[in-house]
Structures are given as structure tokens and as C-alpha cells.
Amino acid sequence: GNSVTQMEGPVTLSEEAFLTINCTYTATGYPSLFWYVQYPGEGLQLLLKATKADDKGSNKGFEATYRKETTSFHLEKGSVQVSDSAVYFCALRHNAGNNRKLIWGLGTSLAVNP
Amino acid sequence: EAGVAQSPRYKIIEKRQSVAFWCNPISGHATLYWYQQILGQGPKLLIQFQNNGVVDDSQLPKDRFSAERLKGVDSTLKIQPAKLEDSAVYLCASSPLGRVESPLHFGNGTRLTVT
């Protein structure tokens, strides 16, 4: 079945460090891929998405490229800020079936120290 | 546009009591979701509505949980009776109908503590 695997956290970085959070998926066909972010005490919000192979999603300095050959959607940011401290969730959504359920990773907690 | 509204923000109850959560989705969004998020875990889908019909409730513990979506807009999720393991954040989300790449829009959630 469909699944999403994220690197385990917590990830702790210093401000301005480079960030990579790995995400790989298992799915048939061509799902849409998403990164959601959850700031402390808040609900999830979409960070970026990609809908087909080789697409690059980007937002707020974060990027992720849909790699069909490696079934990956790794999240990267060149220089993190304290305000990026949050939990990051990778997710996929298949375009087959009536409910098109989002399949979630377990989340990766990021703490950025000044 | 106004976001997904949820209330209450926090709720503390004793086990075996009942509780209800309310959600008002983004205007025009046909699909509404209720998720349960236990601390340190990803969200777990409890129920998905499309307009006022249930699309998926396969993970809803139907012996104690119930949900309805009146007139295809607002929704309530009820737990009766609550158990200790129901302590979690309950997230409501909505999305437009039809496009798989459309993201879900989440509310801030209701944090439930069962003592």
C-alpha cells in the first residue's frame, strides 16, 4: 500500500545552518506530494507541494523536488531561522479512488537555536 | 479568506464523560475532515465528509465517536464516553472538491485532555 517514511527527529540546528529532512514514499502511479508544517500550538499548514515528477515546490526559502526515480521528496532550506522551529510532515495524496486520502509521515521536529 | 474555525480551543474532561467539538470550514469547501493527532505522532483521519455525506469513516471508533455535518457546512465531532487514550488534538480540515493536488486547510485544533 501507499506509505511515507520521514527521517526521525528531533533535528537541532544553529541559525543559518543548512537543513535537509528526508522523505521517501511508496505508491503506485503518480501521487501528489506535500510538505506541511506545524508551529507550536497551531494546526498544520501547507508549506509546499509538487504534483508530478521533477516538479520543485518552494515557499519561504524551503524547497523540495519530486524525484520519481528515487521516490523521494526531501525538504531543504539553505539557511534556517529560529522561526522555522516546528514539526514538518511529508504527505502524499493519490489521484485514484474516491476519497483520495492523505497519507502522512510521522513528522520531524526541528529546533533552531540562535 | 477566513480560515477553518474550531472550538473550543482546549477541553479537559474526566473519563466516561462526553465532549463535542465544532468546526466551520472555509466557505465553499465541499470536503471536510476530522483528524486525531496524538502527541508526537502524525494526524490520523477519523472521518471525511463530502458535502454532507460520509466518504470515509473506516478509522472512526464508532462505539464512542460520532460526527455529523449539517447542511454540508459546519460539523461536530462527539465522543461519548471518553477514555484516557482519547487525549489528543482534534484537527478539522477542509478542501475544495475535485482536485487531488488541492491542499487541506487546517484549523488550530482542539486539545482534549481526559483525566
Return per-residue pLDDT of chain B as tens, 115 residues: 679 999 999 999 999 999 999 999 999 999 999 999 998 888 999 999 998 899 899 999 999 999 999 888 999 999 999 999 999 999 999 998 766 677 899 999 999 999 9
Q: How far is A109 from chain B (nearest CA, A)?
A: 9
Q: How far is B85 from chain A (nearest CA, A)?
A: 19
- Can you tell me the distance from the alpha carbon of A103 to that of B4, in angstroms, rounded to the nearest whole number? 21
Query: Using the beta-carbon criterion (under 8 Å), do B55 and A98 form an inter-chain contact?
Result: yes
Query: Using the beta-carbon criterion (under 8 Å), do A43 and B109 form an inter-chain contact?
Result: yes
Q: What is the SS3 assignment for B70?
A: helix
Q: What is the pLDDT of residue A29?
A: 80
Of B4, B6, B42, the CB nearest to A106: B42
Interface of A with B in 64-93 (CB under 8 A): 89, 93
Please list every residue in chain A whose beta carbon sits closer than 8 Å to the beta carbon of residue B43.
44, 89, 104
H/E stretch holding A44 = strand A44-50
Beta strand A108-113 pairing with A11-14: parallel
Q: How far is A2 from chain B (nearest CA, A)?
A: 15
Of B42, B48, B101, the CB nearest to A49: B101
Q: Is A98 on the interface with B (CB under 8 A)?
A: yes
Tens digit of pLDDT per residue, chain A (114 long)?
789 999 888 999 999 999 999 999 998 888 999 999 999 888 899 999 999 999 999 999 999 999 999 999 999 999 999 999 999 999 998 766 655 678 899 999 999 999
Q: How far is A78 from chain B (nearest CA, A)?
A: 25
- Per-residue DSSP letter, B103: P
Q: Is B94 on the interface with A (CB under 8 A)?
A: no
Provide, for chain B, the percentages of residues in helix, strand and coil under a 3-state DSSP scheme, each rounded to the nearest 5.
5, 50, 45
Q: Would you call A4 exposed, middle or buried from its count of C-beta atoms within 10 A (0-12, 13-18, 19+)?
A: buried
- Can you tell me the distance from the alpha carbon of A12 to that of A29, in angstroms, rounded to the nearest whole number? 35
Phi, psi of B86 (to 5 degrees): -80, -5
Q: What is the pLDDT of residue B96?
A: 87
Q: What is the pLDDT of residue A98?
A: 54
- Can you tell me the distance from the alpha carbon of B86 to that of B112, in angstroms, rounded to the nearest whole number? 8
Phi, psi of A12 (to 5 degrees): -120, 125
CA nearest neighbour of A89 among A47, A39, A36: A36
Q: What is the pLDDT of residue A80?
A: 97
A97 contacts: CB under 8 Å, gap ≥ 6: none
